[in-house]
């Protein structure tokens, strides 16, 4: 089984390599080589490259490993974030064609998430493999310095970042808008997609503990409501029927039968009332599931979001905690539009520095291991940064860009260590 899987991966790799060989013959590739020559002469004050073949080989190998790593991360994010949602929608009888469209609209998000991690792991495996196979020694023996080897690494990192930024700032907002609009239509036509069997759901300040959901019928429903400042309300219903609503702003109704209502005073928990009703009704409002009708930051491009931030700075109440929080979140989302895509440049530089130091033996394996570990740490720092902005109120710019800056500092440290050898 493992051999079959390995052969399948090799076939994919060979197919990608053939396509790259075709691309390498194009004029664009020749322009890149000329650009490297210009940097070699103007910046490093050395002659033009004598061996363009080796630089072409490095470019093709870097791009090949990037694509292989990209496919790996794409599948990880796709399975983890999209397929689980698709399974839930299909299980609740959502139209198959609509579910397929939602998968399509989700692709820009998956691509934007996968690209920087693929840059790090792909470049580490490529350069680490070259180091352990003594291919870097061939480069050095041909008169190609470490600085010259760095140029195609950074150029490819910049190119990947630009494409990733386009996907993140143009295709992602477009896909998000279409995804949300389609989700509205699915929820309107099939409300049960939001009520999953044996789950807990938060709606309008209430917590719903849901039993089995079969068709439009929900069994063993418990509702906890603590919005009232004086009284907590607990509703227990044996069976509820889910119906659509003609009332504006109301998405659906939960018609509960044999309902017990517990009214508990917050000041004295032992003081409570119990009401019994054959029927009770809960209105589920659109805003509780679909959110606000205004555009979210993920539905905006960077220029649009920047304009919205400037408008909020003028219109918001400086003493309002809600306005301060919204402005802080908007700023955080603005910086996220740049930090993740351009993280590929920082990752490319880090991969270059680490591969030549730690890739002397089993370079590809070491590169893969280091890459995965660093990706997990980077992802954790991203999450922590967002939490610090949301919960603590720290500066959005610092919290979002610190992971990239740390990657850059580590890359410079190992690069200096490399050139001193």
pLDDT given for residue 403 in this prediction: 93
Q: What are phi and psi of 210, to 5 degrees?
A: -105, 135
Q: 288-320 burial, b if ≥16 CB within 10 A, otherwise e?
A: bbeeeeeebbbbbebeebeebbeeeeeeeeeee
β-pair type (206-210, 213-214): unpaired
Task: Report residue 208 CA to chain centroid gap.
Answer: 29
Domain chopping of the chain, boundaries: 197-290
Tens digits of per-residue pLDDT, 108-119? 999 999 999 999
Q: Is the pLDDT of residue 348 over 70?
A: yes
Tens digits of per-residue pLDDT, 105-156? 888 999 999 999 999 998 988 888 888 877 777 777 777 777 778 888 888 8
Q: What is the DSSP string of 322-357?
A: HHHHHHHHHHHHHHHHHHTTTHHHHHHHHHHHHHHH
Cα–Cα distance between 209 and 197 in angstroms, integer?
9
Task: Report residue 223 CA to chain centroid gap.
Answer: 33
If we measure between CA atoms, which residue out of 151, 129, 77 comes closest to residue 348?
151
Q: Is the pLDDT of residue 287 over 60?
A: no
Q: What are phi and psi of 406, to 5 degrees?
A: -65, -40
Tens digits of per-residue pLDDT, 179-209? 888 877 777 666 666 666 666 777 666 777 7
pLDDT given for residue 5 in this prediction: 41
Alpha carbon separation from 110 to 115, 116, 125, 253, 329 (Å, rounded): 9, 11, 22, 35, 22
Tens digits of per-residue pLDDT, 40-85? 555 544 544 444 567 777 888 888 889 888 988 998 888 877 776 7
pLDDT given for residue 164 in this prediction: 93
């Amino acid at each position: 089984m493992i051999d079959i899987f390995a052969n399948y991966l090799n076939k994919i790799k060979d197919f990608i390599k053939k396509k790259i060989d075709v691309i390498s013959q194009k004029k664009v590739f020749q322009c890149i080589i000329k650009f490297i020559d210009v940097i070699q002469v103007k910046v490093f004050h050395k002659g033009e490259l004598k061996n363009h073949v080796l630089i072409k080989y490095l470019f093709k190998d870097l791009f090949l490993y990037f694509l292989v790593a990209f496919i790996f991360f794409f599948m990880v994010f796709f399975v983890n974030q999209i397929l689980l949602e698709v399974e839930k929608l299909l299980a609740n009888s959502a139209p198959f064609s609509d579910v397929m469209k939602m998968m399509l609209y989700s692709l820009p998000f998956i691509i934007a998430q996968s690209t920087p991690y693929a840059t790090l792991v792909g470049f580490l495996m490529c350069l680490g493999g070259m180091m352990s196979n003594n291919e870097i020694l061939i480069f050095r023996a041909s008169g190609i310095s470490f600085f010259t080897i760095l140029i195609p690494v950074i150029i490819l990192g910049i190119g990947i970042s630009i494409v990733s930024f386009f996907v993140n700032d143009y295709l992602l907002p477009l896909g998000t808008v279409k995804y949300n609009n389609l989700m509205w239509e699915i929820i309107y036509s099939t409300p049960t997609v939001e009520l999953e069997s044996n789950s807990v759901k938060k709606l309008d300040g209430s917590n719903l503990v849901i039993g089995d959901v079969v068709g439009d019928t929900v069994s063993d429903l418990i509702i906890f409501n603590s919005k009232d400042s004086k009284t907590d309300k607990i509703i227990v219903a044996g069976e509820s029927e889910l119906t659509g609503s003609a009332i504006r702003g109301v998405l659906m109704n939960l018609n509960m039968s044999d309902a017990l209502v517990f009214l508990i005073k917050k000041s004295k928990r032992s003081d409570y009332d119990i009401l019994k009703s054959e029927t009770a009704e809960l209105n589920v409002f659109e805003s509780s599931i679909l959110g606000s009708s205004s555009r979210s930051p993920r539905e905006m491009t960077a220029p649009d979001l920047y304009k919205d931030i400037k408008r909020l700075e003028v219109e918001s109440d400086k003493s309002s905690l809600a306005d301060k929080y919204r402005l802080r979140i908007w700023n955080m989302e603005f910086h996220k539009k740049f930090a993740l895509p351009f993280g590929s440049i920082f990752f490319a530089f880090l991969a270059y520095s680490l591969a030549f130091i730690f890739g002397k033996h089993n370079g590809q394996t070491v590169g893969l291991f280091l890459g995965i570990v660093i990706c997990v740490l980077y992802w954790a720092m991203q999450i922590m940064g967002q939490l610090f902005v949301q919960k603590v109120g720290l500066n959005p710019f610092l919290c979002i860009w610190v992971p990239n800056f740390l990657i850059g500092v580590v890359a410079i440290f190992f690069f200096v260590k490399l050139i001193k050898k």
